[in-house]
Structure 1
């Protein structure tokens, strides 16, 4: 489905009596009238949230209801649907990548809406009984750090990115994953976003079923708890939660669900504000520092050092958090720099997936063989 790059239209309506007619309006699209049926007691009042999907040539908007919730009723499996609006409204003025990020997240909401049509929370919870056993993602990083004396490697199975385009034309996810494991990777990160990174859940599932023993991180743009259950069922041992697109209340709720269903959570920050927010949340055990500026798309590994200095670094040590360095790591000097700053794990994609032999790419990155 093509998604128009338009300002997000969000409408909330309070409904009663089961079936009524409603209207949603957009400054670009006129209105859409539709009947809505609430599957519950007619004596209950409900709050519905609509999100605009597309706009036809005639200017009529297509909306979908992404939340039907009783006001005041809280459910840990029901992530507040206004989190995207909050994230976008609080974002700095749009420049290159920030605009791309908004587009990616908006598109992810559409994917999730489709996912929820095909997979209810109830059915996903039931499917957890047949999910592969959960493996210790955080523990694998700790063991690797002790064994090699270098940050544990989360090697990324990634074909493409919005900034770099296709990184590897000859891309075979399982072969790359096995090479990473042979090369000494502690864990693997598997891109599952199709639209912008040419990844897939099929890759995640295939790698899990291939005999690869490394714990797997499902790397995607998580905006809804349904994605947590889906990732776990497909074989993930961990997921990525991005502070730039999730409000604190959602991260707290998702951390609880991750713990309950056997997922580790790598929480990613990009700047001081996000770092301070996350250090105020209990339960974070893995904290990723992305050295990529979300506004300019430039990479500066000194960001890692800056965010780990002073009181922030002390809090991280007190909480026992493992810090993961992300983006801009290409040489042994880069690895040594972030390790000295306090990093005990790194997530690397481009510098090891582009070489014809990923094992040699890992050796070049670390300046040594970390497989022994």
Structure 2
């Protein structure tokens, strides 16, 4: 069984628990509206950074189990992040919906609920916790489920980051008219990272249409940022590098390189 398959088995159990609690919660009315991630990325000439709060991962183990998510998010916001990504999976990434709610309440940036979503109730839970963006992973869903979850999130006024790993998955994302598409440079079956994945998929990306491309995972230095920016990426999603950095401001700002002219 691959790591992705193991995670999805746990998600199925979590959904059963959510179904038992259905109807007990209401959407928060207190969280302020966030800027549009799509608009921020589409209108930029420089690579933008989605900064991630990531306590742990299956491939790296514990990264920073004692992180204060609010202080980390505020540091990201001060350094010029375009959005904050919060890992909310508990078993594999040591995150929580409480982290998401705390971060969303503290910053004025759009906030991404980074999780493995397979059911509409997970989308509702993310919305209640203050997410303005959710993640849908093409590799984790059949096409009908992908389309239905995308439409449901859109009806809740959430933006959707649709994650792909190859050209075939890119075509599936385009088939549901995804506007924000992320290329995960990490193979979710082996968890190996290869930045060339962004360049390979970018070669097939419809940059002439109103869509944006984000490179996810493996961005560790300026050279990596330049590589994906030259390929046409509008933004990068960076977790571990920033979580381990002693100078968030310096490294985040260094990623704001000029995008390639396509």
How high is the TM-score relative to the length of structure 1? 0.65
- Residue 298 of structure 1 corresponds to 192
1:167 paired to 2:66? no
Larger radius of gyration: 1
1:213 paired to 2:83? no
- Residue 48 of structure 1 corresponds to none
Asked if the contact 1:155–1:185 (Cα under 8 Å) also holds between the matched residues in 2, the reply is: yes
Distance 1:129 1:360, change over 3 A: closer
Instruction: Compare 261-270 and 294-303 and name the one that shifted more.
Output: 294-303
Distance 1:350 1:285, change over 3 A: same
Tell me, in whole angstroms, the C-alpha distance in 1 between the residues paired with 2:41 and 2:72. Answer: 19
CA deviations on 1:204-236 (whole Å, 9 max, x unpaired) are 1111222x1111000000010011111111100
CA deviations on 1:139-191 (whole Å, 9 max, x unpaired) are 23345x3xxx4211100011110100111244110000000001110100001
Q: How do 1:242-321 residues align onto structure 2 when only pairs under 5 Å count?
A: 242-282=137-177, 284-309=178-203, 312-313=204-205, 316-321=206-211
Tell me, in whole angstroms, the C-alpha distance in 1 between the residues paired with 2:256 and 2:171. Answer: 31
Q: Offset at 1:366?
A: 5.0
How high is the TM-score relative to the length of structure 2? 0.91
Distance 1:221 1:367, change over 3 A: same
Q: Offset at 1:320?
A: 1.4
* Cα RMSD for the two superposed structures: 1.9
Instruction: Compare 250-259 and 342-351 and name the one that shifted more.
Output: 250-259
Question: Which structure's relative contact order is higher, taking Cα pairs within 8 Å and 6+ residues apart?
Answer: 2
Q: Offset at 1:364?
A: 5.0
